[in-house]
Structure 1
């Protein structure tokens, strides 16, 4: 499917399923000579993992990345870079009922209706687990753009439900396990997450993303917004993106829907089209928007890397 690949010149193709043996990606278009090693990518993956016991996803994956190709003596060769992350925390019993029932708000019915088959184990390809591969690829794009052009990018949780979380301090954001840029609001966020977990429900979020572009990219234009918007909208659970543009700066607000897997009875249908009731069990985020922050950053880095290469190829810079 075309949706497995992102980008034109800096192109990433991901593979694997949520509860299969592994997930990973192939990165094409990375310029040669870039210093790349496992710790560089591992650091990005650590930001994506749950950082608070009991507050976010209950799935515990080590996310150890393996570089299979495209790097020699610690530097990119200009050839495809293959990255592999093996799945270890696989509990298929949590999804045993889903071989015949569709979870509301997930892509399972769409996959089954379109292809006549779907991997019901945690959503298969449509699981947020797949985003680990995007984060790994985004680390490569980020390293190149920071080293070569000095482009800067950051994102934070600006709102959870009705709880507004304005930006306060970059240092506080760097320390926050929930990507909140105001340390004084951490307890409020924790209380809200605990309440939704106890109720078996979930809540949406709004993420703010800021990109600082130096010359010659400081007046990006609509093509940049189009590339970035497509990348951000391609992230699981993202429902809307809004942009503001100023010289040398792009700002985006991204709306992330509540986690559809909740521990409450919901109406659905089975594969014969018969109505049924389903209550999801197993792993669940009360607010998937929090863990979406490093994923959105990664997709933004990938989009920017692709845009920069396209600008260079056209002679615009």
Structure 2
């Protein structure tokens, strides 16, 4: 389907070379100050033609707000967003009348629907992500204003070139890498043409992309994304766990082939004694959260956000459409040689950064609305006073008293009754 989300719902439309692409966003809270400029920022970071290591297709991707706002304020009604396709060249794709492009969606779309878009990748094209990015920019603005949420993605690998400090021999993840995850800003990411904030590595990545482009080839890569200041308690057991929803969102992006959160696959190599994320002594912080030492969990435990930074990595395959001659088969099964035309990214990961950020925002926004609905309903009930202290979170007043030394944390041993 073309709809994502439960309470914050996004329905995208459009193909690579149709007249326009865009989306309908339902569930945006009323009263949010919102203009086209707020949305355009992320669309401009995503657009093609940004540099000579991206596709040469020239699109400014100017967004038009069609509904859902008045006088620069959201009304709570569906928001319509439209972006015109201007630099269309469907004649570049004549070869797809004869050939299903290797590792592309031509054959599978035709097999599924019995008909397909005649040019570009249709709905499988990265052009479809414009609607996601536009909707996610709205979610980002709400989350920033309401909770101070920051979402930053960056390129951490291109082909065989990766950050030199991602892993250390005796650590689940390297200290330099974790420090980067904790502190990196979008401004630092955008300074580099590759969107890798480590300059030396960025230069190596750029060289690798240019070499692939010169050889009419392509490269894959890896993005890291971090979500800071997400509220505690997001995630819906058991099938809509936070990491499951993030994986769903990320793996729905074109060209993605892998997802891992926190320590990911590397964490599986370590014993629990090294991997366990100990809680920090001293009780809850000013926000009422217990903090952890290492955050190998990636900010999620039991499928629910624990208040730490949420971070994950996504693997992107090399773009399937390349200009190199490839021996393959036609639709009728006969042998042939395909030399694809058109304008394509030699590596998609630099332009995928805002797509990953905004998809993350859509997940967090939807989870926030779900959790707020639950807590608002619970707040209408009488306060729970008969349960053991370990079953109820302390109130803000209690947290303040604990921090000021006015009250001790009482933990009841339910077997012996001792405190």
State TM-score, norm by structure 2. 0.71
How far apart in 1 are the matches of 2:95 and 2:232?
55
Offset at residue 188 of structure 1 (A): 2.1
Match of 1:268 in 2: 328
Match of 1:63 in 2: 61
1:297 to 357, 370, 388: 357
How far apart in 1 are the matches of 2:81 and 2:343?
25
Offset at residue 147 of structure 1 (A): 0.7
How far apart in 2 are the matches of 1:52 and 1:232?
23
How far apart in 1 are the matches of 2:135 and 2:231?
25
Secondary structure at the counterpart of residue 17 of structure 1 = coil
Give RMSD over aligned pairs: 2.0
Secondary structure at the counterpart of residue 66 of structure 2 = strand
Match of 2:246 in 1: 228
How far apart in 2 are the matches of 1:120 and 1:40?
34
1:286 aligns to 2:346 (yes or no): yes
Higher strand share: 1
Match of 1:104 in 2: 102
How far apart in 2 are the matches of 1:79 and 1:32?
8
> What are the ranges of 5 or more consecutive residues in structure 2 without an aligned counterpart?
166-176, 263-297, 300-305, 379-419
Offset at residue 139 of structure 1 (A): 0.4
Match of 2:258 in 1: 240
Match of 1:252 in 2: 312
Match of 1:79 in 2: 77
Pair 218,13 (structure 1): closer, same or farther in 2 beyond 3 Å: closer
Pair 26,158 (structure 1): closer, same or farther in 2 beyond 3 Å: same
How many residue pairs were aligned? 315
1:218–1:249 Cα contact (<8 Å) kept: no
How far apart in 1 are the matches of 2:217 and 2:143?
39
2:47 to 30, 46, 49: 49
How far apart in 2 are the matches of 1:270 and 1:127?
21
Structure number with larger C-alpha Rg? 2
Match of 2:145 in 1: 147
Offset at residue 138 of structure 1 (A): 0.7
> What are the ranges of 5 or more consecutive residues in structure 1 without an aligned counterpart?
none
State TM-score, norm by structure 1. 0.93
